[in-house]
Amino acid sequence: MKENSPESCADFLTQFATSERPSENANAVPQPDRDEANLPAQQKVIGNADHNSEPANFKRNFAALALHQVIFRVAWIFKTESVIMPAFLDSIADSGLIRGMLPLLNRTGQSLAPLLVADHIASSPKKSGWLFRSTLCMSLPFLILAGTLHAYSGELPSWYWAVFLAIYLTFFCFHGINETCFSTVTGKLIPVQRRGRLIGESGAIGSLVAVGLAWWLLGSWLQNDGPAAFEKIFLFVGLVMMSSSFATMFLREDPDTGDTLVPRRKRRHFHEAIHRIRQDSTLRGLCLTASMFVFSQLLFPHYQRLGMQLSGATPVLLMVWVIAQHLGAATFSTVSGRMADRLGTRAALRFLTGAACLAPLLALSLAAWAPVSYYCLAFFWIGIVPVTFRMQVSYTLEIVPRSQHPAYISTLTLCMAVPFLLSPLIGAMVQWLGFTFPFVVVALIVGLAARRTWTMPEPRHPEFQTGWKPHGNV
């Protein structure tokens, strides 16, 4: 890689991914997909994809998936994991250890549930039905929360934190399945060089719409003290998330043909996931990098607690922080989406992971030396974390044929769950040692993950070979 200093932003972005760049002929049409039964063990795979060729109903499906994500983003901003959910839990049980359970339950649900249903998704002729049902199911936990808050008139019993954590886990089981379904549908209906645009445009538009609604509604809803402030928030999340499921009804998906997979016994899912990691060095490297990166999410519940301890902090600032985070997500989503389409998903991952390691250090610096009004910049920066997760999934879609997307995505999410076992420990460290030590440690670990992105292969490179081996190798 050349060491020339870039003289412009464009030069920098070009230099950013110079090693093993995608094919110079960006307009070349690659080989079409083949049935996996006819693939040699080390067939080259370029995204899975037909690259620039647009399948039937592409524009309609692109619009439907973008609409689904825009509405989904509106619901998501009102339940932001780094602000709203930990603030609600703190209103019931103000404990760093209990707060530290949130990332653990979050990732446990997202990892185990998809692994158990991945074969069922893959064997379904139409994947969009799974996307509809999983999105609809995600609305139910929030409608239940809103109902119980209304029934108790906002005065919740002291033991309700355990009920909340159970509902929280259930939601993320549905969310993990939903993420796998969305990625699978995207891999089937959207060409590889349009997926970055889908992430970027839906993320940007969704975040801007969500920010406007949050500014209009969230501030007044948070004027109340205690758990009662969250009743309207949870009802709104449930209803909007239900609405996002109906956007999938506009999809036009041809059923998959050929032999479908027979769902395997549940006890074999973990064995097969381990086998995939051992067999495929690209997947193994991605799983290690992603597992290191998820340490950034272990701090999510504690950012708002650090901010609320600053002089002059009020509950209304929660609304400002929610908006700041989603503006950050919109910004990083737009930049990285364009980068992924032009330079490859690997280049976008290098940029996102490198920038994410600065988030904990920025929060500590702002808390120590800046007025509380500037602390929103920390939330703007952590908007990069969910964008990075989506880009990791996008990278996964490019390293195997489409039939293996659900299995590979569920394997990735399973590996990302392991570091979350340390989440309660991080919470205890915050409570007993303060914020500085755990925040600095996480920044170092994410920095190492950023370093590892420079060892990842480029799936769009002509010489890339998939590590997946078809049939009978498990």
Q: What is the pLDDT of residues 53-75, one digit of tens each?
A: 566 788 888 899 999 999 998 99
**Amino acid at residue number 304:** Q
Residue pair 390/206 in contact (Cβ under 8 Å)? The answer is: no
> How high does pLDDT run on average in the chain?
81
Query: Is 6's pLDDT higher than 50?
Result: no
- pLDDT value for 371: 93
**Burial tier of 105 (Cβ tally within 10 Å: 0-12, 13-18, 19+):** buried
Structure tokens at 80: 């932001």
79: pLDDT confidence band, cut at 50, 70 and 90? confident
Identify the residue with better confidence: 467 or 312. Answer: 312
Query: Where are the alpha helices (H) located in 269-404, listed in sequence order?
Result: 269-279, 281-293, 295-298, 300-308, 317-343, 345-356, 359-369, 376-382, 384-398
Give rounded-to-5 percent helix, strand, coil for the chain: 70, 0, 30
CA 396 from centroid of its chain's CA atoms: 13
pLDDT tens digit string along 295-325? 998 998 899 889 988 988 888 888 899 889 8
Most distant CA pair in the chain, distance: 65
Q: What's the sign of the alpha-carbon dihedral 272, 171, 86, 218?
A: positive
C-alpha to C-alpha distance for 169 and 12, rounded to whole angstroms: 42
Query: Is 367's pLDDT higher than 50?
Result: yes
CA 204 from centroid of its chain's CA atoms: 15
Structure tokens at 227: 């758990």
- pLDDT value for 226: 67
Structure tokens at 112: 């185990």
pLDDT tens digit string along 387-397? 999 899 889 98
Query: Is 421's pLDDT higher than 80?
Result: yes
Lowest mean pLDDT across 45-59, 108-122, 200-214, 424-438 = 45-59
Q: What is the torsion angle, in degrees rounded to the nearest 10, for the CA atoms of residue 136, residue 98, residue 94 and residue 233?
A: -10
Domains of the chain: 56-248+265-455 (1.20.1250.20)
Q: Which of 440, 95, 176, 90 has its CA nearest to residue 296?
A: 440
Q: In sequence order, what DSSP letters do the residues of 377-427 get, joined into one string? A: HHHHHHTHHHHHHHHHHHHHHHSS-GGGHHHHHHHHHHHHHGGGGGHHHHH
Lowest mean pLDDT across 140-149, 191-200, 420-429 = 191-200
Query: Is 447's pLDDT higher than 90?
Result: yes
Q: What's the sign of the alpha-carbon dihedral 204, 208, 213, 214?
A: positive
Q: Which of 82, 87, 323 has its CA nearest to residue 227?
A: 87
Query: Is 30's pLDDT higher than 50?
Result: no
C-alpha to C-alpha distance for 55 and 58, rounded to whole angstroms: 5
